[in-house]
């Protein structure tokens, strides 16, 4: 006899899995929604095929009878089946290879560093801090970090914010100065010259 669904059960709100995306992510999304109602192992197994479609659903329906004795077993077989769909995992080596180019503003580099960091699972904060200190180009900000080392990445980011503001203000000021005074139009110069010549002729 099948285990009845919990009272108030509603269809899951998630994209059905077809075998082309990360299987681990699908499992996490699935269990998160089912656990709102129950963590019963039998329910997790019973409802799981409703979260599949296409080739993934076809794979499930071809599983041998009584080959699944728990949701844990189902998860293991599912993730092995679609292991090739798992995304490439970024490691801390990606941070070690980052460098702030001479022509890149501090803000741009900080955003790039942060975007890479969030892709790394279980990133050691000390590793991130060390990689950041190695990656920054020489300049006033690095000089300040050498004089007083930051305790952690939060402190480094807070201090970087001040230098980013100064850097952007300096860039804006240089752009304004670079424009210089507007040059008079050529037509205006010719008109002035003609008027002056007319005065001399008189």
Is the distance from CB of 43 to CB of 34 less than 8 angstroms? Answer: yes
Rounded Cα distance between 16 and 54, Å, is: 9
pTM of the complete model:
0.54
Rounded Cα distance between 116 and 134, Å, is: 15
Model pLDDT, residue 191? 46
Rounded Cα distance between 98 and 90, Å, is: 13
Which pLDDT tens digits describe the chain residue by residue (202 residues)? 578 888 889 989 999 999 999 999 999 999 999 999 999 999 999 999 999 999 999 999 999 988 999 999 999 999 999 998 887 778 889 999 999 988 889 999 999 999 999 988 889 999 999 999 999 999 999 999 999 999 999 999 999 999 999 999 988 888 888 754 445 455 544 544 444 444 444 4
Rounded Cα distance between 152 and 156, Å, is: 6
Domains of the chain: 23-85 (no CATH), 93-179 (1.10.1200)
Model pLDDT, residue 198? 47
Alpha carbon 197 to its chain centroid, in Å, reads 68
């Amino acid at each position: 006899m099948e285990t009845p669904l919990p009272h108030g059960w509603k269809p899951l709100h998630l994209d059905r899995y077809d075998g082309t995306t990360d299987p681990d992510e699908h499992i996490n999304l699935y269990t998160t929604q089912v656990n709102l109602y129950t963590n019963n192992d039998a329910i997790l197994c019973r409802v799981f095929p409703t979260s599949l479609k296409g080739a993934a659903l076809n794979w499930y329906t071809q599983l041998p009878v009584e080959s699944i004795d728990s949701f844990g077993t189902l998860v293991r077989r599912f993730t092995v089946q679609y292991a090739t769909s798992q995304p490439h995992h970024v490691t801390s080596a990606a941070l070690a290879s980052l460098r702030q180019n001479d022509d890149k503003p501090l803000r741009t580099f900080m955003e790039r560093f942060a975007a890479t960091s969030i892709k790394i699972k279980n990133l050691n904060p000390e590793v991130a801090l060390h990689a950041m200190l190695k990656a920054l180009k020489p300049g006033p900000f690095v000089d300040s970090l050498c004089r007083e080392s930051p305790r952690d990445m939060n402190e480094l980011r807070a201090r970087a914010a001040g230098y980013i503001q100064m850097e952007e203000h300096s860039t804006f000021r240089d752009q304004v100065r670079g424009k210089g005074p507007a040059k008079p139009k050529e037509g205006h110069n010719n008109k002035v010259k003609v008027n002056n010549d007319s005065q001399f002729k008189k």
